[in-house]
């Protein structure tokens, strides 16, 4: 498996999400003679010494595209390892921009509808940016259903009503026949809410229900090619760089990495922390959710370390309504 780059050279880069009146997003093509020539990227460039990210982005967009802009909120900050350097890509939304966009450095430009962004070949650091723009920032992992299936389904409905749009159905201690019936009912509710739903560990059940599959880390060694049709989400739980590389090679759409913090389910086991998460994040170009003692309030922190967002059981599973 490829190893993490050990270079201490870190290149700070800023990029902007520039939208036109039709909601299309601007990509620029890297010119010949540059690293990764021919690939499409979000426009921007390197920060100069002592320059703030906002000032750097305003300068770069003026120099490259001839526009003036007002920089808005942070979208994601992606650490990415390359053969000769470690890059950190700080991506910002633009509040406003003025001027006529043109490639002042001879670069090709493309205004792309958001749902077509994934079709463009991009450098590794830019690929998680597309996911951050288009995919959910929260990933609910369901708890065991306990003795009351109706109460479990009611809690799932409340989670969907609260806006959860990516769900992993997981209940490893539940009897297979009971779980098949419960998962079937859960999938129907997720589809009604237009949520992306994945079954944990059971490729046969996922295929029979026509939904995505979330692989356990140990299952990554079982297949040499993607065991799921394209168009259905496939993900994996990973704990180290080798597992992340295996998930990427298998064609997973995203991964889950942790535990970031200590959790009640693993008493006495320290989490990897955000620095540990970022070190794994830079090994691959997959979108990655952070997991382990996290909740919705941690999404911004997770994004600042390159995460797609946060995965959680307790953090997202609704409490039982008061009697």
Q: Which architecture characterizes domain 10-122 according to CATH?
A: Alpha-Beta Complex (3.90)
Domain boundaries, the chain: 10-122, 138-312
DSSP-assigned beta bridge partners for residue 78 = 89
Q: Which architecture characterizes domain 138-312 according to CATH?
A: Alpha-Beta Barrel (3.20)
Q: pLDDT class for 2, splitting at 50, 70, 90? A: very low
Predicted confidence (pLDDT) per residue in 16-71, tens digit: 999 999 999 999 999 988 888 999 999 999 999 999 999 999 999 999 999 999 99
Predicted confidence (pLDDT) per residue in 101-129, tens digit: 999 999 999 999 999 999 999 999 999 99
pTM score, whole prediction = 0.94
Predicted confidence (pLDDT) per residue in 306-322, tens digit: 999 999 999 999 987 76
Q: What integer pLDDT is reported at residue 323 of this predicted model?
A: 63
- DSSP code for 257: E
User: Does residue 9 register a pLDDT over 80?
Assistant: no
Length of the chain: 323
User: Does residue 1 register a pLDDT over 60?
Assistant: no
- List the structure tokens of 239: 């704990």
Cβ-based neighbours of 230, under 8 Å, separated by 6 or more: none
User: What percent of the chain clears pLDDT 70, i.e. is strictly above it?
Assistant: 96
Half-sphere exposure of 303 (CA within 13 A, CB side): 21
Range 170-191 average pLDDT = 98
| Mean of the per-residue pLDDT values of the chain | 94
Predicted confidence (pLDDT) per residue in 138-172, tens digit: 999 999 999 999 999 999 999 999 999 999 999 99
Smallest Cα–Cα separation from 18: which of 52, 55, 66, 51? 66
CA distance 260 to 227: 29
CA distance 124 to 19: 22
Q: What are phi and psi of 93, to 5 degrees?
A: -75, 150
Range 281-305 average pLDDT = 97
For every residue of 136-180, DSSP letters joined together read: -SEEEEPPP-TT-HHHHHHHHHHHHHTT--EEEE--TTS-HHHHH
Smallest Cα–Cα separation from 86: which of 282, 241, 307, 284? 282
Q: What integer pLDDT is reported at residue 204 of this predicted model?
A: 96
């Amino acid at each position: 498996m490829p190893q993490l780059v050990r270079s201490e050279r870190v290149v700070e880069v800023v990029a902007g999400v520039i939208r036109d009146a039709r909601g299309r997003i601007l990509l620029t093509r890297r010119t010949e003679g540059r690293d990764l020539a021919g690939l499409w990227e979000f426009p921007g460039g390197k920060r100069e010494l002592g320059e703030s990210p906002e000032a750097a982005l305003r300068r770069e967009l003026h120099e490259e595209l001839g526009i003036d802009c007002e920089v808005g909120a942070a979208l994601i900050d992606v650490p990415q390892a390359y053969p000769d350097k470690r890059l950190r890509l700080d991506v910002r939304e633009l509040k406003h921009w003025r001027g006529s966009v043109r490639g002042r450095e001879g670069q090709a430009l493309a205004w792309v509808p958001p749902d077509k962004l994934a079709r463009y070949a991009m450098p590794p650091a830019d690929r998680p940016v597309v996911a951050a723009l288009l995919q959910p920032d929260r990933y609910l992992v369901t708890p065991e259903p306990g003795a009351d299936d109706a109460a479990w389904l009611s809690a799932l409905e409340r989670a969907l009503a609260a806006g959860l749009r990516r769900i992993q159905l997981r209940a490893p201690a539940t009897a297979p026949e009971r779980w098949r019936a419960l998962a079937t009912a859960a999938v129907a509710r997720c589809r009604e809410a237009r949520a992306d739903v994945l079954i944990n560990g059971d490729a046969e059940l996922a295929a029979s229900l026509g939904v995505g599959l979330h692989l356990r880390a140990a299952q990554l060694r079982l297949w040499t090619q993607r065991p799921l049709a394209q168009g259905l989400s496939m993900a994996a739980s990973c704990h180290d760089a080798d597992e992340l590389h295996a998930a990427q090679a298998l064609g997973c759409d995203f991964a889950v990495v942790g535990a970031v913090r200590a959790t009640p389910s693993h008493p006495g086991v320290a989490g990897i922390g955000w620095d540990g998460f970022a070190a794994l994040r830079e090994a691959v170009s997959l979108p990655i959710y952070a997991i382990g003692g996290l909740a919705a309030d941690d999404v911004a922190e997770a994004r600042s370390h390159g995460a797609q967002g946060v995965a959680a059981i307790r953090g997202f599973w609704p409490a039982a309504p008061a009697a």
